[in-house]
């Protein structure tokens, strides 16, 4: 019973929804202020959600209705599920088992796949191009992301997020060794969330809204909510793996610190999308494989050397 | 992915005006590109023939929303030439001042649009905020932010006061400072350079062959500027240099436009410093003598050509406008050869297109093909029949409208 409450209310689905909308507001407001605009009022994301949810769902005639309707739900559920395994303000998430880090990374890939399938099955040309782009993008950022997130785990000698948290609590300053990996995974997270400079899959001026061109109403609202929650889950994962301090402060202080960590990571993402222009897909591939992936490998190598030679 | 044709326009977020580009794609690569103009035809040239010269000034001003002063000046210059009117010096200087302010606002607008097309919205927000300065200046001088209504045949309609001069100088300094910052961004920000350089290449030879004008031509190394080559208004007395660039790509076009902004600030200062005293306009009779004239004008987008033929009445016999976009739009297909879809918006935007100025209607008479000319009544009859044939009957609505006295 308590578990169900945890899943549905706190820190599960309801909390994620509220926090997701709040973080969307934070992102939009900060983006606007950095651009010298006033920005939206605090309830804007919620108002957008309600408005979209109240609208009619239009499904293209040629589209496969089942796939078309299923994909937003897939995107949403997979991100919410991933959230349960991430340690937030304690050592260990709601559930934990050996290897949950890999499962979280796997679950975080599903939204991208659902963007692809959703776009592909909506049969519009713009959507199809967007879908192909988003899957192409996946190949660019996924490898650096995996490698950079696995290197702190290597240092902690565990694939379990809980044990990683325990290890870094025991060795409070070791997270400093992973800063390069933190940078790499921030770049990869930008790609995963399809934000500027990697919003190639939904480049407005080229392919209208890319994958989401044909989506409207409730389905679009679910997609948007899924992306908001994905932002939180991604930021929480990065916070858990790369900023694993203050996990023994108790619920109140720990919760505050967790929120601050997430907002800090989101602020970094917002800053990136404010000061950069959109790259082309070939430029993104080049950037990710020529610079970001080698950086991730350097981080991995550093972790191996640290673990095998220096910290023995 | 197999080969697909995707429509960019007539309604598309990248375009600010309806225009159709049909793009054949192989994967991300553009293999074919078809431009279709004609969504914005308004028949202004024909309408000019039905109105007096004074009315035509306001009509030509509305050819383009952004370079409105350019079109009205080009028209007025042609009429003045036919009527052999000597415009007072002060009038010419004020015309030039507004022309340069207009160039500033147009280029800043372009910079923002270019930023938006490459997904760099921050640049859009910043440059459009600074554009407000010049818009406010234009509003204080002419009373309007666009469509200034400043020109008249024989001079200008509004004088500028010493206070306004001070205000313009203040705004000019501020804008110069901001533009230096944008030059900094354009030449140093890596993602911007990556998206701009090497994109939309138009070699010097191609630019000459396709008849490119304005910044598009100057960025391909063609040293051509009507303000210097065929000086009009007060340009012969101003000291400025024509900005050219040899990058041949969108990056070069950006540098040319930013360079032109700096030149414009310089020119505005010179104009205000040397502003001669005296009347701003002379009176011109309503009936313009028989004759014809071609007037050239360097609009922000390139050379704008107006041809006016008069027949001795108060209405022109023929007005012909060649807007700069018509000269540049041919180059887009060349620029997009072997490029990617992602480059398409910025390449189209880089010629700073203004489609509504460009659209003309040409009727081509083929041999053996008979074309009918319908009178208004016949056209109405035809449309009623057409709708009835397709199952729509407006007769009830029509009878209601007819009984209502207008």
| Partner-chain residue, chosen from A34, A208, A278, that has the shortest CB–CB distance to B118 | A278
Test B345 with A206 for CB contact under 8 angstroms: yes
A41 band by pLDDT with thresholds 50, 70 and 90 = very high
For residue A175, CA distances in Å to A160, A178, A256, A292, B61 come to 16, 6, 20, 20, 65
| Partner-chain residue, chosen from A36, A208, A283, that has the shortest CB–CB distance to B13 | A208
Token pair belonging to A118 = 């959703």
Residue of A128, A205, A271 best to disrupt the B interface, most CBs of B under 10 A: A205
Indicate the range of A137-141, B15-19, B64-68, B264-268 predicted with least confidence: B15-19
A227 pLDDT higher than 60: yes
Cβ-based contacts of B347 with chain A (< 8 Å): none
B195 pLDDT higher than 90: no
CA A41, A45, A51, A52 torsion-angle sign: positive
Mean of the per-residue pLDDT values for chain A? Answer: 86
Cβ-based contacts of A205 with chain B (< 8 Å): 13-14, 116-117, 119, 345
Bridge partner residues of B305 (DSSP) = B296, B322
> Beta strands B302-310 and B3-8: pairing type?
unpaired
pLDDT at A56: 85
Domain B44-353 annotated CATH 1.10.645.10: yes
In degrees and rounded to multiples of 5, residue B21 shows phi and psi of -125, 125
Residue range A249-257: mean pLDDT, rounded? 82
ipTM value for the complex: 0.82
Residue range A96-104: mean pLDDT, rounded? 84
Test A207 with B129 for CB contact under 8 angstroms: no
Cβ-based contacts of B111 with chain A (< 8 Å): none
Q: What is the percentage of chain A residues whose pLDDT exceeds 70? A: 98
Mean of the per-residue pLDDT values for chain B? Answer: 86
- B300–chain A nearest CA distance, Å: 24
Test A277 with B115 for CB contact under 8 angstroms: yes
Residue range B149-158: mean pLDDT, rounded? 88
B349 band by pLDDT with thresholds 50, 70 and 90 = confident
pLDDT at B403: 66
Domain count, chain A: 1
Token pair belonging to A158 = 């565990």
Bridge partner residues of B303 (DSSP) = B298
pLDDT at B1: 56
In degrees and rounded to multiples of 5, residue B160 shows phi and psi of -115, 145
A205 band by pLDDT with thresholds 50, 70 and 90 = confident
Nearest CA in chain A to B122: A35
pLDDT at A265: 92
| Partner-chain residue, chosen from A35, A280, A282, that has the shortest CB–CB distance to B121 | A35
In degrees and rounded to multiples of 5, residue B15 shows phi and psi of -105, 140
B405 band by pLDDT with thresholds 50, 70 and 90 = low
Token pair belonging to B63 = 């050819």
Cβ-based contacts of B353 with chain A (< 8 Å): none
Cα B263 from Cα B279, distance rounded (Å):
28
Residue range B215-236: mean pLDDT, rounded? 88
A91 pLDDT higher than 60: yes
Q: In sequence order, what E strands does B124-198 have? A: 151-152, 155-156
| Partner-chain residue, chosen from A126, A133, A199, that has the shortest CB–CB distance to B119 | A199
Q: What is the percentage of chain B residues whose pLDDT exceeds 90? A: 18
Residue range B120-133: mean pLDDT, rounded? 90
- Note the helical H segments in B219-351: 226-229, 250-273, 324-335, 344-350
pLDDT at B402: 67
| Partner-chain residue, chosen from A35, A206, A275, that has the shortest CB–CB distance to B342 | A206
> Of the segments A158-162, A202-206, B355-359, which one has the largest average pLDDT value?
A158-162
Cβ-based contacts of B118 with chain A (< 8 Å): 277-278
A28 band by pLDDT with thresholds 50, 70 and 90 = very high
Range of the domain at A46: 2-310
> Beta strands B316-322 and B155-156: pairing type?
unpaired
Tell me the pLDDT tens digit for each residue of B16-58: 788 888 888 887 888 888 887 778 888 888 888 888 998 999 8
Nearest CA in chain B to A195: B119
pLDDT at A30: 93
A161 pLDDT higher than 80: yes
Cα B96 from Cα B81, distance rounded (Å):
17
Q: What is the dihedral of CA A201, A206, A210, A214, to 10 degrees?
A: 180
Test B120 with A276 for CB contact under 8 angstroms: yes
């Amino acid at each position: 019973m308590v578990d169900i409450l945890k899943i549905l209310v706190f820190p599960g689905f309801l909390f994620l929804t509220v926090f997701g909308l709040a973080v969307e507001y934070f992102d939009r407001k900060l983006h606007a202020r950095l651009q010298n605009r006033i920005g939206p009022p605090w309830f804007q994301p919620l108002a957008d959600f309600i408005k979209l949810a109240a609208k009619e769902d239009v499904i293209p005639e040629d589209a496969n209705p089942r796939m078309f309707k299923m994909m937003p739900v897939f995107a949403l559920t997979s991100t919410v599920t991933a959230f349960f395994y991430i340690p937030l303000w304690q050592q260990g998430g709601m559930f934990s088992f050996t290897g949950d880090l890999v499962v979280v990374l796997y679950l975080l890939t599903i939204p991208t796949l659902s963007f692809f399938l959703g776009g592909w099955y909506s049969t519009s040309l713009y959507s199809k191009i967007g879908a192909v782009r988003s899957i192409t993008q996946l190949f660019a950022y996924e490898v650096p992301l995996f490698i950079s997130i696995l290197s702190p785990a290597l240092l902690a000698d565990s694939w379990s997020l809980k044990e990683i948290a325990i290890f870094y609590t025991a060795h409070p300053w070791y997270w400093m060794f992973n800063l390069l990996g933190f940078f790499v995974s921030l770049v990869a997270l930008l790609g995963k969330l399809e934000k500027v400079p990697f919003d190639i899959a939904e480049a407005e001026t080229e392919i209208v809204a890319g994958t989401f061109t044909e989506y409207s109403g409730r389905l679009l609202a679910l997609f948007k909510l899924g992306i908001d929650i994905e932002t939180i889950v991604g930021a929480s994962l990065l916070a858990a793996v790369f900023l694993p301090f203050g996990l023994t402060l108790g619920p109140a202080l720990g919760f505050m610190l967790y929120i601050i960590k997430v907002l800090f990571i989101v602020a970094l993402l917002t800053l990136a999308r404010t000061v950069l222009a959109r790259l082309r897909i070939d430029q993104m591939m080049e950037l990710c494989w020529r610079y970001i992936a080698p950086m991730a490998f350097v981080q991995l190598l550093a972790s191996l050397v640290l673990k095998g030679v220096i910290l023995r | 992915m197999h080969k697909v044709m995707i429509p960019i326009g007539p309604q598309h977020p990248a375009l600010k005006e309806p225009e159709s580009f049909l793009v054949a794609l192989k994967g991300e690569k553009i293999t074919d590109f078809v431009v279709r103009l004609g969504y914005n035809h308004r028949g202004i040239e024909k309408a000019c023939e039905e109105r007096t010269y004074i009315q035509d000034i306001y009509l030509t001003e509305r050819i383009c929303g952004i370079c409105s002063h350019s079109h009205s000046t080009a028209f007025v210059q042609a009429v003045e030439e036919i009527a052999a009117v000597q415009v007072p010096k002060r009038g010419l200087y004020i015309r030039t001042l507004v022309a340069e302010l207009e160039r500033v606002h147009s280029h800043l607008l372009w910079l923002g649009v270019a930023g938006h097309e490459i997904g760099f919205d921050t640049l859009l927000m910043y440059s459009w905020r600074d554009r407000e300065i010049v818009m406010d200046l234009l509003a204080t001088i002419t009373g309007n932010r666009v469509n200034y209504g400043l020109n008249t045949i024989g001079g200008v309609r509004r004088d500028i006061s010493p206070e306004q001069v001070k205000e313009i100088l203040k705004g000019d300094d501020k804008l110069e400072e901001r533009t230096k910052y944008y030059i900094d961004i354009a030449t140093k920000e890596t993602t911007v350079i990556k998206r701009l350089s090497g994109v939309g290449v138009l070699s010097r030879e191609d630019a000459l062959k396709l008849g490119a004008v304005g910044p598009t031509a100057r960025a391909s190394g063609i040293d051509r500027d009507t303000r210097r080559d065929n000086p009009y208004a007060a340009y012969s007395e101003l000291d400025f240099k024509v900005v050219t660039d040899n990058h041949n790509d969108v990056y070069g076009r950006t540098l040319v436009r930013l360079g032109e902004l700096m030149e414009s600030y310089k020119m505005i200062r010179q104009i205000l410093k040397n502003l001669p005293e005296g009347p701003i306009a002379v009176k011109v009779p309503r009936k313009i003598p028989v004759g014809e004239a071609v007037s050239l004008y360097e609009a922000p987008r390139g050379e704008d050509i107006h041809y006016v033929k008069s027949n001795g009445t108060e209405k022109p016999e023929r007005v012909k406008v060649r807007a700069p976009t018509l000269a540049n739009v041919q180059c887009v297909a060349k620029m997009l050869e072997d490029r990617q879809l992602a480059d398409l918006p910025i390449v189209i935007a880089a010629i700073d297109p203004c489609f509504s100025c460009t659209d003309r209607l040409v009727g081509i008479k083929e041999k053996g093909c008979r074309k009918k000319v319908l009178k208004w009544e016949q056209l109405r009859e035809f449309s009623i029949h057409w709708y009835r044939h397709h199952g729509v009957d407006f007769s009830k609505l029509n009878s209601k409208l007819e009984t209502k006295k207008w």
